[in-house]
Amino acid sequence: MLVNLEGVFGDARDNPAIEDPIVVLRHGIFGADSSLAALTSEIESHLPNATVDNRSYNWRLAVLQNGAELADHILQELDPDRPLILIGHSMGGLVCRVANVILSDGAKFDSLLPWLLPQLGYQDLIPRLQNKFSKKTNRKVNGLITLATPNSGAFLQGQVSGLCALLHVGVSAFASFQDPSIIDLTHDRLFRFLQQFSVSTPTLSISGSASSRFSALSGQATRKLASWTLKGWAGGLNLSQPNDWVVEDVSVNLTSSILPNEIVHHGRSLYMHLRAYEDCTSVTHINIYDRTSVRNHMFSFIARC
Amino acid sequence: MRDVNAFTKDWQALPEIGVLLACAKRCGLRIGIRGGVVRNFMLTDGSPRSLFHLVDPFSDIDCVVDDESHWPELFGSISSSISFSGFHRWEVDTRDSIMQCLDQYAKLPIERLIVWHDGKTKTEEPARIELDGLGEDPESILGSAAAIPEFDIADKHYAVMGPLNYIVDKLRFGRYILQFPNQFKIAARDIVEAGNWQESLSRKLIREKLSPVDRFRFETALLDIIANAESSNDLLEFLLMFSELMPSSLHDQSSVLNIVSQRMTSGPSSIGALVYSAGPNSRTTAEVLSRRGGATKRDGIESLIPWTPMWSIRNGFGECCRHQDFQNGVAVLSWRSMRNNKAFIDIQEADYALAAQITGARPYGRGPKDVKRQILPLPGFVRRGPSVTVRMDHAFLSAFLHNDVNFFLGLVRIEKE
């Protein structure tokens, strides 16, 4: 059973399977394109005419830099006339949001850089990013999906370490807390940057709700949904600690954002945050893109934007 | 030495200062920085790479505000906006209270200087930097930044504050000289030996026991020297000389001094220092560490620093409270090589990350329990220099494992794609 997206995003088109969108997938921290290989296959079978652009990027670099490189890649190498969907998991969702603001208004991005980056602590990026986009035509983004993305604010430092531990990342692959991407995740500079923009891209954010990241070894379990109705979660939802073991649900939802954001506060985007859906209590940070119910909601969204 | 214009320009070039100015502007307030960070900025040759590289391993960042009520808003903005701010302690005081106790300890002229970041400007104007000499001309302060003052144990304020403060002041100046040997024309040992102080200190220490606060101040003053001295040979010579000068009653009361006198003669390859509180109700401890031999492997995993035993104790609140960063404060560990002064000077900090090898854990309030041997990442900040210093959120381990955790801390090289 799907949560009804129609109320926010409108009716689904009749036969989306014959359409030829470009679907850009970007993995999260510690990930690679292989993390999203199964999702890529699923999209290709569901949308046979689609082109899926699933690539690795250096997740240690600043999210702002990776977002700008993604926007540049889209403008340089992907067909500008085909519909474009951006899907990002965890930090990849933030990369997609940066790309989205650049594609929506490259001239504004260029004009803000010189004064904004130094006061946010991004001065190292100025030579790499300045004057790259103002002469390029803006690119419509038809839809943006963020999966378990900390959209609305900073991580705790401990969450990054917790994620390493949950992923069983080998000791030699630990992230340094001085990597620019970790700074982005644990401070507000990226969010203060994004709040300067406004976009109109339809946006769906999906969170997992498995448990608390620190509950796994203590026997503390999240209470299940007491009941489920077709219309949603009006009756009986009682998730005591909505958390996917890494990211709090409240961090995923842009309407809970402490800082105003480019999508809900400043933009005209249609926006929905999806956290209570079928089987969501077993959806964790690292399995969210492999869950059938999550994928079904993604396809339902793509068919409407 | 810099004049006011050069000082302001170079200060503004520190990457964190633009963000600090933005925080001041955002709050419509002003925040000053003083103390060790400003002193180190002035005495360091060349341009420092970061504000945090100016924070000595066991020191904090001394901030100044006009009114104490300004601090929560300013610090909220700083902690969410300035990278790595959480890994450092920010101490705040008002300008008025600093003025009141200005002459209570001997200081370098540069230690009078406050660098204000003033966000109380008009809406359309950016925040600005101003220098404040607390009643003295900033230009003349900068001109004589490193002039060591005359001070004597017979001075009135030492009679009030106790003779140990005299020794701590001597240790401080000794540290500055060992840390910035090019900026001073006097040897560190000459500073310590000068003055007829030994008899009155001995009398005092035989009569009275050191208070825990005094003992901690004394021990961290020694650890500061260990972590900051530029040359290992000069450090060793200074420590042995100082140890001999100190009365035996002080040796008995100071674990650091005791270990220094016992182990420094045995030629350790590395010496280290650790300051932290293991748990929320634990006393903050200062330890000196030493190691002989070169290998820094443990269970096959190589570490840049010797694997160091530590504890992470739970908060005891069970499941009632969510984890917060730095629940037990910041733990600081510093190691230096005694054989190679440049061992850690050129490392790239971002190439290294903190790792904890868990050796034991027990549920809070219960008996010991075996846990699967594992290695976990730890939130940490690395600073290079004559010693390599790591600042960490060690409380993460007990929160993650739901146990009191005994672990060895190492600094491992990370793999980049």
Mean pLDDT within B376-381: 89
- B104 and B155 belong to one structural domain: no
DSSP H or E run through B300: none
A121 shares contact with chain B (CB less than 8 Å): yes
Sign of the dihedral defined by the CA atoms of residues B59, B323, A91, A39, in that order: positive
Please give the structure tokens belonging to residue B275.
């300051």
User: Quick check: B81 and A189 CB within 8 A?
Assistant: yes
End-to-end CA distance of chain B: 43
Residue where a domain terminates, one of B217, B246, B266:
B266
| φ, ψ of residue B388 in degrees (nearest 5) | -100, 130
Would the pLDDT of B81 be above 50? yes
Distance from CA of B34 to the nearest CA of A (A): 21
- B17 and B118 belong to one structural domain: yes
- Nearest by CB to residue B379, choosing from A160, A171, A189, is A160
Domains of chain A by range and CATH? 6-302 (3.40.50.1820)
Segment A220-228 long-range contacts (CB within 8 Å, at least 24 positions apart): A220/B319, A222/A281, A224/A281, A225/A276, A225/A280, A225/A281, A228/A1, A228/A278
Question: Among all residues of chain A, which has the CA nearest to that of B410?
Answer: A171
Question: Mutating which of A172, A176, A195, A259 best tests the B interface, going by the most B Cβ atoms within 10 A?
Answer: A176
Q: Which of A42-46, A95-99, B150-154, B321-325 has the lowest mean pLDDT?
A: B321-325
Residue where a domain terminates, one of B203, B232, B266:
B266
- B286 and B415 belong to one structural domain: yes
Quote the Cα angle for A210-B319-A285, to 5°: 20
Question: Among all residues of chain A, which has the CA nearest to that of B394?
Answer: A158
The confidence band for B116, taking pLDDT boundaries of 50, 70 and 90, is: very high
- Nearest by CB to residue B381, choosing from A58, A118, A178, is A178
| φ, ψ of residue B102 in degrees (nearest 5) | -65, -35
What single string gives the DSSP state of each residue in B63-128?
A: EEESSGGGHHHHHHHHHHHSTTGGGS-EEEEEHHHHHHTTTSS---GGGG-EEEEE--S-TTSPPE
Residue where a domain terminates, one of B143, B168, B188:
B143
CA separation, residue B99 to residues A284, B95, B131 (Å): 55, 6, 15
Please give the structure tokens belonging to residue B305.
């620093």
- B8 and B77 belong to one structural domain: yes
Distance from CA of A273 to the nearest CA of B (A): 23
Quote the Cα angle for A177-A179-A184, to 5°: 90
Return residues 314-373 of B near A (CB < 8 Å): 319, 322-326, 349-355
pLDDT of residue A173: 66
DSSP H or E run through B416: none
- Span B238-293, pLDDT tens digits: 988 988 888 888 888 888 888 877 777 777 888 999 999 999 888 999 988 988 87
Give dist(CA A127, CA A117) in Å, integer: 11
CA separation, residue A200 to residues A6, A72, A141, A146, B411 (Å): 18, 20, 9, 15, 46
pLDDT of residue B318: 52
Give dist(CA A153, CA A247) in Å, integer: 10
| φ, ψ of residue A26 in degrees (nearest 5) | -130, 130
- B230 and B256 belong to one structural domain: yes
Give dist(CA B81, CA B75) in Å, integer: 10
pLDDT of residue A279: 82
Question: Among all residues of chain B, which has the CA nearest to that of A163?
Answer: B377
B234 shares contact with chain A (CB less than 8 Å): no
pTM metric for this prediction = 0.88
Nearest to A74 by CA among A95, A44, A46: A95
Distance from CA of B234 to the nearest CA of A (A): 32
Please give the structure tokens belonging to residue B232.
């290992």
- Directed axis angle between helix B163-179 and helix B36-43, to 10°? 30
- Directed axis angle between helix A106-120 and helix A91-104, to 10°? 130
Give dist(CA B403, CA B391) in Å, integer: 22
DSSP H or E run through A162: helix A157-167
Distance from CA of A157 to the nearest CA of B (A): 6
- B33 and B126 belong to one structural domain: yes
- Nearest by CB to residue B379, choosing from A157, A173, A215, is A157
Model-level ipTM above the cut of 0.95: no
Quote the Cα angle for B406-B412-B415, to 5°: 135
User: Quick check: A158 and B399 CB within 8 A?
Assistant: yes
Amino acid (1-letter code) at residue B301 = I
User: Quick check: B400 and A165 CB within 8 A?
Assistant: yes
- Span B11-61, pLDDT tens digits: 999 999 999 999 999 999 999 999 999 999 999 988 888 999 999 999 999
Contact A30, A173 (CB under 8 A): yes
CA separation, residue B386 to residues B40, B180, B286, B342 (Å): 14, 11, 20, 6
Domain hosting B18: range is: 4-143
- B281 and B241 belong to one structural domain: no
Residue A26, beta-bridge partner list: A55, A88
**Tally of structural domains, chain B:** 3
Who contacts B97 (Cβ-Cβ below 8 Å, separation ≥6)? none
User: What radius of gyration do chain A's Cα atoms show?
Assistant: 18
- B202 and B326 belong to one structural domain: no
Mean pLDDT within B162-168: 83
- B284 and B413 belong to one structural domain: yes
Please give the structure tokens belonging to residue A292.
């059938």
Q: Mean pLDDT score of chain B, rounded to an integer? A: 87
- B205 and B316 belong to one structural domain: no
- B17 and B123 belong to one structural domain: yes
Question: Mutating which of B27, B303, B323 best tests the A interface, going by the most A Cβ atoms within 10 A?
Answer: B323
> For each of chain A's 305 residues, which pLDDT tens digit applies?
678 999 999 999 999 999 999 999 999 998 999 999 999 999 999 999 999 999 999 999 999 999 999 999 999 999 999 999 999 999 999 999 999 999 999 999 999 999 899 999 998 899 999 889 988 899 999 999 999 999 987 788 888 887 877 776 655 567 788 889 999 999 999 999 999 999 999 999 999 877 644 444 333 333 333 333 333 433 333 344 567 878 888 889 999 898 999 999 999 999 999 988 888 878 888 899 999 999 999 999 999 99
pLDDT of residue A12: 95
Nearest to B180 by CA among B391, B13, B388, B386: B386
Would the pLDDT of B398 be above 90? no
- B20 and B75 belong to one structural domain: yes
pLDDT of residue B149: 85
Q: Between these two residues, A180 and B206, which has the higher pLDDT value?
A: A180
